[in-house]
C-alpha cells in the first residue's frame, strides 16, 4: 500500500507508450508476439521465446495468484509510508508482474503465496494509473 504521498512518476518511452496509455482507461495490456503468440511483461523489443521483433498487445483479464511477496518496513525514498506489500503476481495469462497488494493488511499473516488476486488501480497525478492487486472477493 504505497500511499498517495509518493511523488515518484514512472517514465515512459516509445516502446511502453501504448501500455501506459491503456492504464488511463484502467486497461491492463500484455505484450504478445505476432509470430508465436507468446505473452510477456515487461514490454521488450523482442519476443523472449522465439526472437521475433513484431510484437502487439493483448488485454489481460486481471486475475492471478500471489507468486511470492514481502512486507516492506523501510522506505526506499521519501514520501513512501511503511509498511506496505510488494508482490510478484502471476496472471492467469502467464506473465508475472511486480506490483503492490492493496485492500489487505500489510502483514505477513494476512496474505499467502497462492492467494487469488484481482486487478485494481492506483491513479497517478498525470492521468496514468498503476496496476495493483487485491485479494479476490475483497473488493
Partner 1 sequence: MTGIALVGAAECDLGKTGRSVLELQVQAVTRALADAGLTLADVDGLATNAVGRFSTTELADQVGLRPAWVDSSFVGGSAFEAYVARAAQAITAGQASVVVVSFASNQRSAKSRSLGGLLEDHLPAAQFETPYAPLYPLSYYAMAAQAYLHRYGLGREHLAHVAVSARDWALRNPKAFRYGAGPLTVDDVLGSDMVSSPLTVADCCLVTDGGGAVVVTSLERARDLAKPAVRLLGYGECTDHTNMSTLDDVLDVGAARAGRAAFARAGLTPADVDVAQVYDSFTITPLLSLEALGLAEPGQAGVLAALGEFGPGGSRPLNTAGGGLSYCHPGQYGVLLLVEAVRQLRGECGDRQVAGAEVALAHGTGGILSHHATVLLGVDR
x/- contact string, 76-115, with partner 1 (CB under 8 A)? xx--x---x-xxx------xxxxxx-------x---xx--
3-state secondary structure at position 21: helix
Rounded Cα gap, residues 93 and 55, in angstroms: 16
Kindly identify the residues of this chain, within the stretch 15-44, that bind partner 1 according to CB under 8 A.
Answer: 16, 20, 41-44
11 in contact with partner 1 (CB under 8 A): yes
Tally the residues of the chain.
139
Rounded Cα gap, residues 131 and 28, in angstroms: 7
53 in contact with partner 1 (CB under 8 A): no
Candidates 9, 17, 46, 52: give the one binding Zn ion (CB under 5 A): 52
Ramachandran category for residue 10: left, alpha or beta (phi over 0 → left; psi -120 to 50 → alpha):
beta
Rounded Cα gap, residues 84 and 115, in angstroms: 17
Residues of this chain that interact with partner 1 (CB under 8 A) are 2, 6, 8, 10-13, 16, 20, 41-44, 67-77, 80, 84, 86-88, 95-100, 108, 112-113, 130, 132
Amino acid at each position: 500500500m504505497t500511499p498517495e504521498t509518493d511523488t515518484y512518476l514512472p517514465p515512459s518511452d516509445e516502446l511502453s507508450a501504448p501500455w501506459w496509455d491503456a492504464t488511463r482507461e484502467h486497461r491492463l495490456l500484455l505484450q504478445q508476439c505476432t509470430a508465436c503468440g507468446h505473452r510477456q511483461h515487461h514490454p521488450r523489443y523482442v519476443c523472449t521465446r522465439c526472437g521475433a521483433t513484431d510484437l502487439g498487445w493483448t488485454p489481460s483479464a486481471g486475475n492471478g495468484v500471489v507468486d511470492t511477496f514481502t512486507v516492506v518496513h523501510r522506505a526506499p525514498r521519501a514520501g513512501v509510508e511503511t509498511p506496505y506489500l510488494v508482490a510478484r503476481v502471476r496472471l492467469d495469462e502467464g506473465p508475472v508482474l511486480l506490483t503492490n497488494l492493496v485492500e489487505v493488511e500489510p502483514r505477513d499473516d494476512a496474505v499467502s503465496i497462492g492467494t487469488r488476486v484481482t486487478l485494481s488501480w492506483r491513479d497517478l497525478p498525470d492521468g496514468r494509473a498503476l496496476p495493483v492487486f487485491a485479494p479476490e472477493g475483497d473488493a
